[in-house]
């Protein structure tokens, strides 16, 4: 049994909780390692920060949604359950920690918490000069996102042009600020701010949301779980560089983006919760201004 703890080292309360948790895990004879969230700000993190997948039991995140997203990227397709305990601001992906971190972690270790499998994204990037014979054989970087991949206008602030293809079908030629391809988890993040729908986490498809398109015909698309979205920037004019953001972090490349392929990841991200209706409770309080009244449905 091995527990990895990622703590938001900018939050004194999270640091204090990590010391309490370290003492508890040691008292139970459970091996553990602690990672500061500041170590995860790089666009890519070296995997040796984590032990082998078969050695890990649990990843505990002491922080907010941003720390959870970066932990999910670090874990990738390892299928290690993530227990988020909110020490951030919104904390939509995390549990409340009013009963203390030991209570939640001990319940997670004995299997008392609810497993919530979330679809994530596999993002394949083809840059200028790369070979792109097909999606599986192209010379590209394969990247991970739990919330969304966003292709947006670059530092000069000029609009970009792109074509959108879904599973081989040409859907649109668009000029605007860019496009977001989000999971259901990401529906309550950037996609929502851009006018997209709130989608239950059980949905396995993608949400394709154009950003400020210069047309009245571009609309959000909800895809099938097995679809592949392709954003082709071949028509983008010189000097109008596009930037790729994964879960809010800018990803640097040595050459200009040409195509970005996005599809559902093969292994879901597992989040642990103390309540079965975590999503609806948080959606009610966060986006509709009140706690959900469950008594009306009993």
Please identify every residue annotated as catalytic. Answer: 65
HEC per residue, the chain: CEEEEEECCCCHHHHHHHHHHHHHHHHCCCEEEEEEHHHHCCCCCCHHHCCCHHHCCEEEEEECHHHHHHHHHHHCCCCCCEEEEECCCCCCCCECCCCCHHHHHHHHHCCCCEEEEECCEEEEEEECCCCCCCCCCCCCEEEEECCEEEEEECCCCCCEEEEEEECCEEEEEEEECEEEEECCHHHHCHHHHCCCCCCCCCCCCCEEEEECCCCCCCCCEECCCCCEEEEECCCCCCCCCEEEEECCEEECCCCCEEEEEEEECCCCEEEEECCCCHHHHHHHHHHCCCCCCHHHHC
In Å, what is the CA distance from 100 to each residue of 12, 105, 289? 15, 9, 26
β-sheet with 82-86: strand ranges across: 31-36, 2-7, 58-63, 82-86, 269-273, 114-118
Sheet of 169-176: strands edge to edge? Answer: 141-145, 121-127, 257-264, 228-232, 160-166, 169-176
């Amino acid at each position: 049994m091995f527990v990895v703890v990622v703590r938001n080292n900018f939050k004194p309360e999270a640091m204090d909780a990590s010391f309490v948790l370290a003492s508890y895990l040691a008292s139970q004879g459970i091996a553990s390692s602690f990672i500061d969230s500041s170590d995860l700000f790089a666009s890519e993190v070296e995997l040796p920060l984590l032990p082998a997948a078969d050695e890990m039991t649990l990843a505990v995140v002491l922080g907010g949604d941003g720390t959870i997203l970066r932990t999910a990227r670090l874990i990738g397709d390892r299928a290690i359950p993530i227990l988020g305990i909110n020490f951030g601001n919104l904390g939509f992906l995390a549990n409340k920690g009013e009963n203390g971190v030991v209570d939640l972690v001990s319940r997670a270790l004995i299997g008392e918490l609810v497993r919530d499998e979330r679809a994530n994204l596999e993002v394949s990037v083809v840059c200028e000069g790369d070979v792109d014979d097909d999606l599986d054989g192209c010379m590209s970087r394969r990247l991970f996102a739990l919330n969304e991949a966003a292709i947006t206008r670059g530092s000069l602030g000029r609009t970009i042009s792109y074509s959108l293809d879904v599973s081989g079908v040409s859907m649109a030629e668009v000029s605007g600020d860019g496009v977001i391809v989000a999971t259901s988890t990401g529906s309550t993040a950037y996609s929502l701010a851009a006018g997209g729908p709130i989608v239950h986490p059980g949905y396995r498809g993608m949400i394709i949301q154009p950003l400020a398109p210069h047309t009245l015909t571009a609309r959000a698309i909800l895809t099938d779980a097995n679809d592949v979205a392709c954003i082709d920037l071949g028509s983008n004019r010189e000097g109008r560089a596009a930037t790729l953001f994964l879960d809010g972090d800018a990803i640097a490349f040595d050459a200009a983006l040409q195509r970005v392929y996005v599809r559902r990841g093969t292994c879901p991200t597992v989040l642990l919760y103390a309540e079965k209706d975590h999503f609806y409770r948080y959606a009610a309080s966060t986006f509709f201004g009140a706690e959900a009244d469950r008594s009306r449905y009993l």
